[in-house]
Amino acid sequence: MACLLGACVSLTTIASCGDKKPSGDGPYAELVAEFVPKIEKETGLSFKTPPTIASRTREDVGKFVRQQLESDRARTQLAGQESAYKLLGMMPDTMNLLALLQKLLEEQIVGYYDPATKVLYVVDGAAPALLRQTVSHELVHALQDQYVKIDSVQAQVDNADRQSAAQAVLEGQAVLLQLRMDPNAGPMLKMPGGWDRIRDAMKDAQTGMPVFSAAPRVVREGLLFPYLGGADFVRRFIQKRPEKELLLDLPISTKQILNDAAYFTDTKATRDVPVTVTLPAPRRGTVVYRNSVGEFETRLLLVQHLKDEALARRGASGGDGDQFAVVRTPDGDVLIWATAWDSAVDAADFLDLMGDAARRRYELARVDFPGGATARQYDVPSKGTRPARTVTLTLERVNGQPVVLYMDRPAKIGAALLDLAGITVAR
């Protein structure tokens, strides 16, 4: 599950100086002339073609956001994400994810780079400080698009974890470069603990956004991760390697973004590369959406219900690849999620923690152990308009690798919905 938004939201609110009105050929030409050589110097990459910049009214921006969210690809992905989030208890059953994201972006957006037109757009009347931040940030995206096709990253909708990792690098680099070119934030970045203070200030600033503050954790953290988590990764990258190599060697999982040992190895061959987990077709019902979760959103899921960051990090850290599917049946939706693990110990730990998360999510006091230490079953009574459900977790072996299978289904549907022998794990 990942945010697929192509528009770049201005999340940075560190103060900028500069009140001069842009001048020169075309809108904001003076800012372009100022930032382009700085970006080229910092990245070690040159613009292959001059960037194009244009202004738009806030109404135009709102229209662009709606077009992005209402495309066939976006609607399919958002509907699937919404179903999965609700089945996992990460979002209220009454929430409309598409409508929420539209409000969020319209609340925050100041400018965006559109890879389809290769044009950087800025909202008319933006405050001078925000204008500088936005132009510097979006110019980085314009440069990136000339080396890594941003359209291709946005199109990776069938592997959300990989899409999130690539998106984190693109946004993280833009954030970090924007800050390095800022006369106030730039010197602070070089101070001990300076990045931590800036990071906290950027995150805290979002609490002043009413729509953002009221959004579910998975939406808030999902929107922030590419910017803040991505900048964390890019900072570590440029401490170890030249920045010009960044776009040529993108991480392929959020595990590689979050853990140095998974990405920064002696050779690419020794990196922690996720396996491909594939679920078989269910014996009944229709698969309406399937995708991956990855380490970052597994953390979010665990902390949502366990309320413990350390436990959530531990429980998600040994993941080695996953796939989930939302299955639509006449009796209600089913969530099937298979996660592969680095070791049997990691798998057993996740089995326990995810089981406890399910118990807390449904406010249950009792759990059955139908398969001893390798299985959990939770019988969830009906409540209000929600019919009775059954949640099961089992620890299996697939091609010699430990796999935890999680299933949340209407109580009328038996565990035979899925042929366990049909699950595959491959490098």
Distances (CA, A) of 17 to 27, 132, 183, 203: 19, 8, 7, 21
Measured distance CA(422)–CA(427) in Å, rounded: 17
Is pLDDT at 6 greater than 60 in this prediction?
Answer: no
Q: Residue 417: pLDDT band by 50, 70, 90 thresholds? A: very high
Domain boundaries, the chain: 29-270, 276-426
Contact between 378 and 358 under an 8 Å Cβ cutoff? The reply is: yes
Sign of the CA dihedral running 84, 88, 92, 97: negative
Alpha carbon distance 70, 51 (integer Å): 27
CATH level 2 (architecture), domain 276-426: 3-Layer(aba) Sandwich (3.40)
138-183 pLDDT, tens per residue? Answer: 999 999 999 999 998 988 889 999 999 999 999 999 999 999 999 9
pTM: 0.91
Tell me: pLDDT of 332 over 60: yes
In a 10 Å sphere around its CB, with 0-12 CB exposed, 13-18 middle and 19+ buried, how is residue 76 labelled? middle
Cα(318)–Cα(274) distance, integer angstroms? 11
Nearest alpha carbon to residue 246 among 139, 159, 166:
166
Tokens 């910017």 identify what position?
227
Coil, helix or strand for 149? coil
**Average pLDDT score, the chain:** 90
Please say whether the beta carbons of 134 and 27 come within 8 A.
no
pLDDT at 23 over 60: no
What's the confidence (pLDDT) of residue 222? 95
224-240 tens-digit pLDDT: 999 999 999 999 999 99
pLDDT at 108: 74
Give me the pLDDT at residue 26, please: 57
